[in-house]
């Protein structure tokens, strides 16, 4: 990507999120440059007037024009007046600098709201298959790390364009004062920037590598923290530790190399500027016999201009330092936008009839074997239906299709007669309670874990009643009362301060608080002790007939009271019926499963 093309691309990216407000900050920068250039140029009439008074040299045209302006204001003959006017100009410049910096801060804050908010919204509605194809570290890296770099890159890019404006303003005035001097210096400045091209590409490549490596580091960190208890207690942290160390080492190398590049640019900025200017001044005075006064003022302007030109390189380098983040964020927006979950337009009112799987087949990737094969089942309203089978039989995939998280590539899932592809997803999912083997518990109070922040437990009597009733139905009330602060007890990250059975009952209480029309229990008791299973089993039995319950279970004792049981094997339904019917079939697969669990 060429230099000018890169500038246009990055500018279009920022304008996409900020809008036309981006032009205001550059207008303020131009005003700052004008004010400073005017203030410095006003030194020329003072110097040339003093020079003309002590010699026969005529005042230059530029100085004469400035004198005319000062005469118009009414201070042309007053040195004190001119000095005070210069002071006023620089005070105005200071005000403009404040306005420019404050508005830049405002725009960066808006970027934070716009980008992080939009990214989170995009993630919240992304297709489930897109989610399972990536690791958690990637999403965390994008929304917490790379978007932050993206926002900071706007500051660097603004500084880059600001320095272009400032240097242009200084150089234009310098050209008017001493065009030969300015032209020679300008040519040398452009040559310097051209020589820096290789360094810019080097920094840009490092930025891309660093952004990718940050995702890899986050992946190792998330896995290490999620599995900390197991890894620490079994001394199995070494692999992940080496992965984290290796990733950190790579990032440190990238950071070091970018730092060296930045240090090189900063170190040569002033020496190069001064040496070139001294060389040009010598030529102007000795070869062209130019007047000293315009050169001195032009020297101030051009020294600042050269500093700004070298600063152009520094700020462009800083922008490229974050190019990998910019590209990753934009690519992520495009990827997530193209992988949004399709949504229908027909709402499901209160679930009242049945869920029907009509010849449903599904595979996770095109060309792979089907995980579900020609499934034809009915789940009637207010009935308890169970699915059993060996691991890999397709039970959890079937549940994901029940919630419409996955879509069949053949056949259709109907909810109250509405095809899944036409269902407005939120209207259906808001009626679902879902309890999985992996408990979802938040680092908050017991009460907030049950009501999910829907109301104030202390100040809303109805919310408090519903929270306590849900805990009672889930057989969680007794253990909650024994906790130090009852319903106000903080449970810790993922409920670490509770036992497995307590977490599961808290999980069920949350789903019962919702008063769902469909409750899904996905192996909710498989990892629990007998006492905890007994409580949860009571809770499930109490729900019979009051709502639709779908159970996936390895422990067959938990589904004895189900209205219907489907036995699955290798993606197919091979048997169905009541518990009694299936156990009476001496040659049936379910009968064998019951006998094996009885041993």
Q: What is the pLDDT along the chain (599 residues), one digit of tens a residue?
A: 567 788 888 888 888 888 888 888 878 877 877 777 666 666 666 555 544 444 444 445 555 666 677 677 777 666 677 777 777 777 887 888 888 888 888 888 877 878 888 888 888 888 888 888 887 778 888 888 888 888 888 888 888 887 777 777 777 766 666 666 666 666 766 666 666 666 667 777 777 777 777 777 777 776 666 665 555 555 656 666 777 777 778 877 877 777 777 666 666 656 666 666 666 666 656 665 655 555 565 566 666 666 666 677 677 777 777 778 888 888 888 888 888 888 889 999 889 999 999 999 998 887 788 899 999 999 999 999 999 988 888 888 998 899 998 899 899 999 999 999 999 988 998 898 888 877 788 888 999 989 888 888 888 999 999 999 989 888 888 889 888 899 999 888 778 888 888 888 888 888 888 888 998 888 766 655 666 667 767 777 777 778 899 988 877 877 888 899 999 998 999 999 988 898 888 788 888 888 887 64
Q: Please list, in sequence order, all residues whose beta carbon lies within 8 angstroms of the beta carbon of residue 364, skipping any fewer than 6 positions away.
A: 129, 371
Give the DSSP letter string of 129-140: HHHHTS-HHHHH
Quick one: how far is CA 216 from the chain centroid?
16
* Helix, strand or coil, per DSSP, at residue 378: strand
Find out if CATH 3.40.50.300 is the number for domain 343-431+563-599: yes
On whether the CB atoms of residues 488 and 447 are closer than 8 A, the answer is yes
Q: Where in the chain is the domain with CATH 3.40.50.300?
A: 343-431+563-599
Among all chains, which residue has been given the structure tokens 């452009």?
190
pTM of structure: 0.66
| Residue 379 DSSP label | E
User: How crowded is residue 102: how many other Cβ atoms within 10 Å of its Cβ?
Assistant: 12
Do the strands 410-415 and 384-389 form a parallel or antiparallel pair, or are they unpaired? unpaired
Spatial strand order of the sheet with 518-522 comes to 432-436, 518-522, 548-552, 384-389, 564-569, 572-577
Give the model's pLDDT for residue 93: 78
Among all chains, which residue has been given the structure tokens 């934070």?
112
Please classify residue 595 by burial: count the beta carbons closer than 10 Å to its beta carbon, then call 0-12 exposed, 13-18 middle and 19+ buried: exposed
Rounded-to-integer distance, Cα 231 and Cα 237, Å: 5
Spatial strand order of the sheet with 410-415 comes to 372-380, 354-362, 410-415, 418-419
| Residue 499 DSSP label | -
Task: Give the residue from 198, 174, 195, 204 showing the smallest Cα distance to 268.
Answer: 195
Q: State the distance between the two ends of the chain, measured CA to CA, in whole angstroms.
A: 70
Give the DSSP letter string of 90-149: HHHHHHHHHHHHHHHHHHHHHHIIIIIHHHHHHHHTB-HHHHHTS-HHHHHIIIIIIHHH
On whether the CB atoms of residues 421 and 344 are closer than 8 A, the answer is yes
Task: Give the residue from 542, 540, 543, 544 showing the smallest Cα distance to 553.
Answer: 540
User: How crowded is residue 234: how many other Cβ atoms within 10 Å of its Cβ?
Assistant: 9
Rounded-to-integer distance, Cα 331 and Cα 325, Å: 10
Query: Which tokens belong to 15?
Result: 């304008």
User: How crowded is residue 95: how many other Cβ atoms within 10 Å of its Cβ?
Assistant: 13
On whether the CB atoms of residues 551 and 563 are closer than 8 A, the answer is no
Q: What angle do CA 323, 327, 333 make, to 5 degrees?
A: 145
Q: Where in the chain is the domain with CATH 1.20.1560.10?
A: 3-338
Q: Which fold has domain 3-338?
A: ABC transporter transmembrane region fold (1.20.1560)
Give the DSSP letter string of 406-470: S--SEEEEEETTEEGGGB-HHHHHTTEEEEESS----SSBHHHHHHTTSS-TTT-HHHHHHHHHH
């Amino acid at each position: 990507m060429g230099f000018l093309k890169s500038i246009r691309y990055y500018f279009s990216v920022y304008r996409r999120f900020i809008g036309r407000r981006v032009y205001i900050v550059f207008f303020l920068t131009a005003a700052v440059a004008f004010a400073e250039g005017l203030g410095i140029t006003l030194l020329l009439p003072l110097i040339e007037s003093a020079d003309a008074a002590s010699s026969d040299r005529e005042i230059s045209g530029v100085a004469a024009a400035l004198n005319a302006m000062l005469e118009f204001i009414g201070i042309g003959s007053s040195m004190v007046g001119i000095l005070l006017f210069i002071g006023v100009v620089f005070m105005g410049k200071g005000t403009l600098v404040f306005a420019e910096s404050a508005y830049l801060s405002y725009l960066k804050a808006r970027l934070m709201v716009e980008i992080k908010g939009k990214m989170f919204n995009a993630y919240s509605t992304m297709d489930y298959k897109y989610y399972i194809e990536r690791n958690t570290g990637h999403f965390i890296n994008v929304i917490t790390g790379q978007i932050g770099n993206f926002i900071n890159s706007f500051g660097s890019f603004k500084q880059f364009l600001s320095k272009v404006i400032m240097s242009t303003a200084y150089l234009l005035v310098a050209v008017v004062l001493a065009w030969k001097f300015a032209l020679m210096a300008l040519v040398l400045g452009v040559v310097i920037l051209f020589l820096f091209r290789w360094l810019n590409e080097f920094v840009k490549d490092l930025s891309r590598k660093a952004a990718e490596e940050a995702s890899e580091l986050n992946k190792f960190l998330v896995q290490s923290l999620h599995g900390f208890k197991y890894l620490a207690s079994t001394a199995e942290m070494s692999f992940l530790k080496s992965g984290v160390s290796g990733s950190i080492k790579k990032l440190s190398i990238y950071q070091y190399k970018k730092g060296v590049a930045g240090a090189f640019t900063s170190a040569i900025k002033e020496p190069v500027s001064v040496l070139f200017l001294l060389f040009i001044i010598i030529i102007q005075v000795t070869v062209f016999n130019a007047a000293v006064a315009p050169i001195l003022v032009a020297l101030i302007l051009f020294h600042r201009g050269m500093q700004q030109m070298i600063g152009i390189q520094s700020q462009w380098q800083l922008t490229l330092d974050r190019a990998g983040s910019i590209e990753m964020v934009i690519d992520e927006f495009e990827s997530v936008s193209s992988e949004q979950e399709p949504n229908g337009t027909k709402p499901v009112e209160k679930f009242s009839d049945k869920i029907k799987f009509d010849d449903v087949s599904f595979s996770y990737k095109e060309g792979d074997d089907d995980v579900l094969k020609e499934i034809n089942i009915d789940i009637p309203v207010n009935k308890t239906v169970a699915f059993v089978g060996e691991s890999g039989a397709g039970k959890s995939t079937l549940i994901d299709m029940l919630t419409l998280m996955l879509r069949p590539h053949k056949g259709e899932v109907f909810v109250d007669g509405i095809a899944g592809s036409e269902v407005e997803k939120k209207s259906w999912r808001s009626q679902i309670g879902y309890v999985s083997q992996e408990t979802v518990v938040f680092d908050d109070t017991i009460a907030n874990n049950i009501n999910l922040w829907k109301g104030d437990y202390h100040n809303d009597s109805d919310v408090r009643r519903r929270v306590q009733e849900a805990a009672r139905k889930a057989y969680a009330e007794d253990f909650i009362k024994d906790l130090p602060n009852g319903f106000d007890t903080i449970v810790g990250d993922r409920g670490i301060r509770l036992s497995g059975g307590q977490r599961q009952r808290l999980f069920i209480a949350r789903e019962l608080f919702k008063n769902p029309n469909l409750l899904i229990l996905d192996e909710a008791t498989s990892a629990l002790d007998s006492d905890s299973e007994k409580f949860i089993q009571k809770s499930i039995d109490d729900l019979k007939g009051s709502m639709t319950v779908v159970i996936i279970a390895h422990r067959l004792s938990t589904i004895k009271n189900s209205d219907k049981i489907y036995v699955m094997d290798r993606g197919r339904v091979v048997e169905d019926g009541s518990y009694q019917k299936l156990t009476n079939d001496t040659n049936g697969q379910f009968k064998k499963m019951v006998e094996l669990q009885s041993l």
